[in-house]
Amino acid sequence: MIILVTVSVFLATVLGALALFWSWEARKESLPRRIKEVTAPVGELPGASSSLVKKWIAGVRERVSAKTPFGKEEIVAIVTGKELSGGRLLLNQAGYRTVSAYQIYWCARVSSPVLLGILAFGYAKAVGMPMESMGVLIMTGVALGVILPDFLLRRKIRKRQEEITDALPDGLDLLVVCVEAGLGLNAAFVKITEEFQLTSPVLSEEFDVVNREMVAGKPRPEALRALSDRTGVEDVKSLVAMLIQTEKLGTSLAQSLRVHSDSLRTRRRQRAEESAAKTTTKLIFPLAFLLFPAMFVVLLGPGFIQIVRVLLPTMRGG
């Protein structure tokens, strides 16, 4: 009875917290209205009388209608230029950029402890556990529910960052070729977006976001800094710092990119060598706990059986 009351109070608290969360989200700026401002005809928009505003909206609408892996909700998030932090930053680093992703993430964080706690309670009741063991099992389920969403999200971020790190040297090589061929940096980003859609969709997506931000009017240094924050990859941060510094000092972009490309390629080779060197250490545990016991049984088993057969009668006779 005490467990039922505790679970009921916990569910009521969770539902109250969800209600407060949704009411707070409802007070924010209406997303459908912002999407309509971007996608609606120019004549229907308030304050769109000047030719400059018309040209800007027309350019944004053209980018919205392009065949890209993003939808209108992501375009609005990019156009607003809102800085990301906390859970939204983690979701962006994991590649979840829809507006509803943040709400789904928090609903999962709130509901997973409740669901796992209820499942643990039902299992404990079904097998007839004592009250003390039941309480421990329920608390374990709740703790797993608290940890699991964040663990899965950070695992997704880590895999995505590894993919970006592995594909960045190749993308930088293409960037060097494009810049040395006479293309500007923005056009080179567009080329990377097109060429890496199959080989590395994650890298193509990130450079596409940078292009969209610059088309929407965001300054290039801010768009590049947003790229480093959005990915959280050290190699991307060093690339962004190099590009911003090159633009400020007016040095040769092609030469700086070539030197940085060689540096990233060297880092990738060193990471591969480091992983190969760690292999021998990682093999110790499978060898010691899986292979060696079976080998000892095969090698020493017949001899041990023969020893038992010879010595056991002698000991009995003595």
Residue tagged 């057969």 (tokens) = 309
CB 204 within 8 A of CB 198: no
Q: Tell me what pLDDT residue 68 has.
A: 44
- Residue 206: count of CB within 10 angstroms of its CB: 25
Q: Tell me what pLDDT residue 78 has.
A: 44
Q: Tell me what pLDDT residue 5 has.
A: 47
Q: Tell me what pLDDT residue 16 has.
A: 62
pLDDT band at 220 (very low <50, low <70, confident <90, very high): confident
Instruction: Identify residue 218 by its one-letter amino acid code.
Output: K
pLDDT per residue over 233-271, tens digit each? Answer: 888 888 888 888 888 887 788 888 888 888 888 888 888
The number of C-alpha atoms within 13 Å of 103 and in the hemisphere containing its C-beta is: 12
Residue tagged 């459908």 (tokens) = 32
pLDDT per residue over 295-306, tens digit each? Answer: 888 888 888 888
Mean pLDDT across 35-55: 48
pLDDT band at 115 (very low <50, low <70, confident <90, very high): confident
Q: How far apart are CA 17 and CA 285, in angstroms?
A: 46
Judge whether residue 232 has pLDDT over 60.
yes
pLDDT per residue over 129-188, tens digit each? Answer: 777 778 888 888 888 888 888 888 899 989 998 888 888 888 888 888 888 888 888 888
Q: How far apart are CA 57 and CA 35, in angstroms?
A: 12
Q: What is the mean pLDDT of the chain?
A: 75
Tell me the whole-structure pTM to 2 decimals: 0.62
Mean pLDDT across 283-293: 83
**Percent of the chain's residues with pLDDT above 90:** 0
The alpha carbon of residue 22 and the mean position of all alpha carbons in its chain are separated, in whole angstroms, by 25
Judge whether residue 41 has pLDDT over 80.
no
Per the model's pLDDT, the better-predicted residue between 168 and 73 turns out to be 168
What single DSSP character describes residue 197?
T
Phi, psi (degrees; rounded to nearest 5) at 78: -75, -40
CA distances from 274 to 18, 45, 80, 223, 267 (A): 47, 57, 42, 33, 10
